[in-house]
Amino acid sequence: MRHDREDTAAQEHALRAAREEAASVLAELAAEAKALSKAYAGRSARTPDGSALAGLVDAARRAEEAVDMAAHDLATARGEDA
């Protein structure tokens, strides 16, 4: 290993973990959106509560930011980012 670069194992792990978390949140978001879609299409008398969907959208944004930050940290550790 070159001495002018950091060990990137921790950053690679952080990026993998951030991507896994983002994938999980997006899967939850898709499931909630599908459930709401069915509820609205069913024209039920009760209007579904979209607050869970809004919370998942916020979680997806945070997860995306975490992936971006982890990718940036990895690139910096590899010396790819000035």
| Domain region containing 71 | 9-77
Low-confidence residues of the chain: pLDDT under 70 = 1-6, 44-46, 48, 81-82
Query: Is residue 70 situated within a structural domain?
Result: yes
Query: Is residue 27 situated within a structural domain?
Result: yes
Q: Residue 63 has what pLDDT?
A: 97
Token couple for 18: 């951030």
Query: Is residue 28 situated within a structural domain?
Result: yes
Report the domain count for the chain: 1
pTM: 0.78
Q: What is the largest CA-CA distance in the chain?
A: 67
Residues 6+ apart with CB under 8 A from 30: none
